[in-house]
């Protein structure tokens, strides 16, 4: 009988731990969560004047062709929008819409900004074409 109580108590503790970790965001993120995280990482890199980090969040086909090198283009974009505005967009969160392997992250509270992202393998990356 004592073994059963211990087993039930252990099971209840394990379930409580799983529920607690799930509530804290531990586990596999949803597609919406992944899109939000990618958009947030991109905006925060721009806001913090880290264009190289922003470039690592860019969908490769959107930076091919005769354009400015990515870090230069990202600095230009951040200068146009404003670093504080980019930080505000990142802080406020986005409305996420997903259609297959393409997503949009729309930021509305502090003006308007919409990012398009594409799923490549296991990462959502920002389409920089509208930015340049």
pLDDT in tens, the chain (132 residues): 555 555 554 444 443 333 333 444 566 789 999 999 999 999 999 999 999 999 999 988 666 555 568 898 899 989 998 999 999 999 988 999 999 999 999 988 767 889 999 999 889 999 987 554
Please count the other Cβ atoms lying within 10 Å of the Cβ belonging to residue 33: 12
Is 103 in contact with 119 (CB distance < 8 Å)?
Answer: yes
Q: Please give the Cα distance from 51 to 125 (Å, whole number).
A: 15
What domains are defined for the chain?
A: 27-126 (3.10.450)
């Amino acid at each position: 009988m004592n073994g059963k109580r211990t087993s039930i108590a252990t099971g209840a503790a394990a379930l409580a731990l799983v529920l607690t970790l799930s509530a804290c965001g531990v586990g596999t993120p949803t597609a919406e969560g992944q899109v939000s995280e990618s958009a947030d990482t991109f905006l925060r890199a721009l806001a913090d004047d880290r264009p190289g980090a922003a470039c690592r969040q860019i969908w490769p086909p959107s930076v091919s062709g005769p354009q400015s090198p990515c870090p230069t283009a990202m600095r230009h974009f951040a200068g146009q929008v404003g670093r504080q505005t980019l930080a505000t967009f990142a802080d406020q969160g986005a409305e996420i819409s997903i259609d297959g392997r393409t997503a949009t992250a729309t930021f509305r509270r502090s003006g308007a900004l919409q990012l398009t992202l594409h799923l490549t393998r296991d990462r959502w990356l920002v389409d920089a074409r509208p930015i340049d």
